[in-house]
């Protein structure tokens, strides 16, 4: 039975899963043998590829009530993104690279946040500061998380520290970051087995912007035609989502991970305002956005400005 | 004109003031020449003694509006303990040893919290990690903050890391920690020159606990009778504070720094619940709490539990 629960956010991505495993190793090296990694949702195919490649076991799905349990959060802090019983847990430590919001504790704790591209980069620094050995498997998981969050170092969220960590980890893990990274991203980028509803919801977040409630989904792909060929059924799924009246506008961002561009598919009220945000016009509800890959840095800010 | 404002909490104690000065030095060593320490209130005599002893300049009183300004918080995070315009500032970094509550940011940031006895101990570690030289003056300010927060290493908040840092800093600052520390604490422990309003506000913090807003002031003394002899005028000052309707309960903690005990004076709504938190009864609004010296570890948690 674990006495310290370590986990990343709901709808886990590779950084959320791998950072939990890495942090459990950090705790063990610090003498905390009862630390154990958990996950708050299903693994995506990209993460599964990384775990298989580096022969790492997937964390167990968290089902325990955390009341009065010792927990460590990685890659998130906002309670609505965390375990349902987080408010009654004893949070010992947080390692994260996001803003801090909807988070509070009753007691002093360890909190390590840095505005870097990836939580695993912070964990890499923590291992180095302590002089801990980074085993090839742990190095591979760190590298995979950095590649995932930075889309192979192309996202504007990627910092020099993320790149420097990745360079050191490449040697420790014994892989070529470009070759391995592309295979890993491709493993997560196939949409052929997914239903339209799965595609539009897989990585969707809701934003309140001016008087609009905007749902923005993002899907990685190595061939944007895989998405565009299914435009009719995707539009039908989006229209059904919009009819629920919860959202005013839906923006599906199909990101080409090979060329670092995106194509958006926009439906809903005043959809032309979305196109205007990027100085383009919608053609059959779609528009091409060269050089755009980051929802956080390149999609949300211009749409927020256009709708506010 | 400073472009990065660095400050500790309102009603500043020695850790709040010294950590602001120390953090400004850390920023300068990191290449941020525009970093400047500020204070959110008057210096107490203990802090004044430490600054005079180590020939350090007192930080300027903060009067600027912080809207869209870059700020670094030390020794606190809760907005009600911070500058009035903190919610519209751009918080770059926090270094603290308290719980996290009523704190949020719009963007990712640096946050370094550790459950140690003193913020200056965390700053000492940050200097060591970066390989920065700790000048005798900075070492003296670090040591003074640790002695202040730990009441000469006697508080249960004092960790092995605080003691180890103090030992190293003793040599760097060129003082005997016990001798210097006792003189510094005594300088801050005299209440004879203070008005009742000064005594109750000198080191007071506000806490939201259950449905109550609780104001907890702490005053160090070498003779608790100095405080108790003035109970009538202290109660009048507290009653006036409570009539402002901002706080429901006021707890004044008079801590005997020689014997490591405290006496509390409690006024306000449901004041008997405060006594119950410590398994004592109020006698003429006061109660003796043997072995209690730490507000954070020995006062706030039982009151929080009793009121929640």
Q: How far is CA A43 from CA A35, A47, A50, A51, A138, in A?
A: 21, 6, 11, 10, 18
| Helix residue ranges, H only, B251-299 | 271-277
Give me the residue from B104, B111, B304 closest to A111, CB to CB: B111
Cβ separation A111–B110 shorter than 8 A:
no
- A contact test, residue of B76, B80, B87, B104 with most A CBs within 10 A: B104
Chain A hits for B103, Cβ within 8 Å: 100, 103-104
The answer to whether the pTM exceeds 0.90 is no
Q: Which residue of B has its CA nearest to A157?
A: B108
Cβ proximity of B137 and B56 under 8 Å:
yes
Contacts of A182 (CB under 8 A, 6+ apart): A152, A258
Cβ separation A115–B108 shorter than 8 A:
yes
In 3D, which of A128, A267, A131 has the Cα closest to residue A200?
Answer: A267
Cβ proximity of B81 and B163 under 8 Å:
no
Instruction: State the smallest CA–CA distance between residue A130 and chain B in angstroms.
Output: 10
pLDDT at residue A222, as a whole number: 87
Instruction: State the smallest CA–CA distance between residue A111 and chain B in angstroms.
Output: 5
The Cα A191–Cα A27 span in angstroms is 37
In 3D, which of A279, A109, A265 has the Cα closest to residue A196?
Answer: A265
Chain A hits for B97, Cβ within 8 Å: 108
This model of the complex carries an ipTM of 0.87
Chain A hits for B114, Cβ within 8 Å: 108, 110
Cβ proximity of A40 and A69 under 8 Å:
no
- A contact test, residue of B90, B111, B159, B210 with most A CBs within 10 A: B111
| Helix residue ranges, H only, chain B | 14-29, 45-53, 119-130, 136-150, 160-173, 177-189, 196-201, 225-228, 231-243, 271-277, 300-307
Cβ separation A100–B103 shorter than 8 A:
yes
Q: Which residue of A has its CA nearest to B208?
A: A106
The Cα B128–Cα B159 span in angstroms is 18
Q: Which residue of A has its CA nearest to B116?
A: A108
| Confidence tier at B65 by pLDDT (50, 70, 90) | very high
Calculated CA dihedral for residues B235, B240, B244, B249, nearest 10 degrees: 0
Cβ separation A113–B114 shorter than 8 A:
no
Q: What is the domain partition of chain A in residue ranges?
A: 4-189, 196-307
Cβ separation A99–B115 shorter than 8 A:
no
Structure tokens, B99: 């719980």
Residue with tokens 């990690």: B129
Q: Which residue of B has its CA nearest to A114?
A: B110
Instruction: Let me know if B193 is exposed, middle or buried by CB neighbors in 10 A (0-12, 13-18, 19+).
Output: exposed
* H or E element at residue A227: helix A224-228
Chain A hits for B111, Cβ within 8 Å: 100, 111-113
| Confidence tier at B294 by pLDDT (50, 70, 90) | very high
Q: What's the mean per-residue pLDDT of chain B?
A: 95
Q: Which residue of B has its CA nearest to A129?
A: B129
Cβ separation B110–A113 shorter than 8 A:
yes
A98 annotated ligand binder: no
Instruction: State the smallest CA–CA distance between residue B77 and chain A in angstroms.
Output: 11
Chain B hits for A113, Cβ within 8 Å: 108-112
Q: If phi over 0 gives left and psi between -120 and 50 gives alpha, with beta otherwise, what is residue B36? A: beta
Cβ separation B112–A107 shorter than 8 A:
no
User: Is the C-alpha dihedral spanning B187, B189, B190, B196 positive or negative?
Assistant: positive
Region B83-93: mean pLDDT is 96
Cβ separation A108–B99 shorter than 8 A:
yes
* pLDDT score of B1 more than 80: no
> Residues in chain A with pLDDT < 70?
1-2
| φ, ψ (nearest 5 deg) of residue A204 | -110, 140
Q: Which residue of B has its CA nearest to A75?
A: B108
Chain B hits for A98, Cβ within 8 Å: 108
Cβ proximity of A25 and A57 under 8 Å:
no
> What is the CA A258 to chain-centroid distance, rounded?
18
Least confident span in B62-76, B137-151, B184-198: B184-198
Q: Which residue of A has its CA nearest to B112?
A: A112
Q: How far is CA B215 from CA A190, A261, B72, B259, B269, in A?
A: 58, 55, 25, 25, 12
Cβ separation A108–B102 shorter than 8 A:
no
Which residues of B are annotated binding-site positions for Mn(2+)? 9, 13, 15, 75, 97, 149
Instruction: State the smallest CA–CA distance between residue B234 and chain A in angstroms.
Output: 30
| φ, ψ (nearest 5 deg) of residue B117 | -80, -15
Q: What is the pLDDT of residues B131-181, one digit of tens each?
A: 999 999 999 999 999 999 999 999 999 999 999 999 999 999 999 999 999
A203 annotated ligand binder: no
pLDDT at residue A28, as a whole number: 97
Q: Which residue of A has its CA nearest to B131?
A: A129
The Cα B113–Cα B111 span in angstroms is 6
pLDDT at residue B189, as a whole number: 87
pLDDT at residue B252, as a whole number: 97
Give me the residue from A110, A112, A129 closest to B115, CB to CB: A110
Superfamily in which the A4-189 domain is placed by CATH: inorganic pyrophosphatase (n-terminal core) (3.90.1640.10)
A223 annotated ligand binder: no
Cβ separation B100–A107 shorter than 8 A:
no
pLDDT at residue A56, as a whole number: 98
Q: Which CATH class is domain B196-307?
A: alpha beta
- B contact test, residue of A107, A116, A128 with most B CBs within 10 A: A107
Q: What is the pLDDT of residues A156-169, one digit of tens each?
A: 999 999 999 999 99
Give me the residue from B98, B129, B304 closest to A108, CB to CB: B98
CB atoms within 10 A of CB B179: 9
* pLDDT score of B186 more than 80: yes
| Confidence tier at B2 by pLDDT (50, 70, 90) | low
């Amino acid at each position: 039975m674990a006495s310290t629960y370590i986990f990343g956010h709901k709808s886990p991505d590779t950084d959320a899963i791998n950072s939990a495993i890495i942090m459990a190793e950090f705790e063990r090296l610090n003498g905390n043998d009862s630390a154990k990694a958990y996950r708050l949702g299903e693994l995506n195919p990209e993460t599964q590829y990384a775990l298989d490649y580096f022969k790492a076991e997937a964390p167990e799905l968290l089902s325990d009530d955390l009341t009065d349990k010792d927990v460590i959060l990685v890659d998130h802090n906002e309670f609505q993104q965390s375990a349902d019983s987080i408010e009654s847990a004893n949070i010992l430590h947080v390692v994260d690279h996001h803003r801090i919001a909807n988070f509070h504790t009753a007691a002093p704790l360890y909190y390590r946040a840095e505005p870097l591209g990836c939580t695993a980069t912070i964990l890499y620094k923590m291992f180095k500061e302590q002089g801990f050995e980074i085993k090839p498997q742990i190095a591979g998981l760190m590298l995979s998380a950095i590649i995932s969050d930075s889309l192979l170092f192309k996202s504007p969220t990627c910092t020099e520290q993320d790149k420097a960590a990745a360079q050191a980890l490449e040697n420790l893990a014994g892989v070529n970051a470009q070759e391995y990274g592309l295979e890993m991203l491709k493993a997560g980028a196939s949409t052929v087995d997914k239903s339209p509803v799965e595609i539009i919801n897989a990585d969707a977040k809701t934003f309140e912007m001016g008087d609009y409630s905007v749902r923005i989904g993002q899907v990685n792909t190595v061939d944007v035609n895989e998405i565009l060929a299914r435009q009719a059924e995707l539009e039908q799924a989006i229209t059904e989502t919009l009819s629920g009246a919860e959202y005013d506008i839906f923006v599906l961002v199909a990101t080409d991970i090979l060329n670092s561009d995106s194509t958006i598919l926009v439906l809903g009220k005043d959809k032309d305002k979305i196109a205007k945000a990027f100085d383009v016009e919608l053609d059959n509800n779609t528009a091409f956005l060269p050089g755009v890959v980051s929802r956080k840095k390149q999609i949300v800010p211009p749409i927020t400005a256009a709708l506010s």
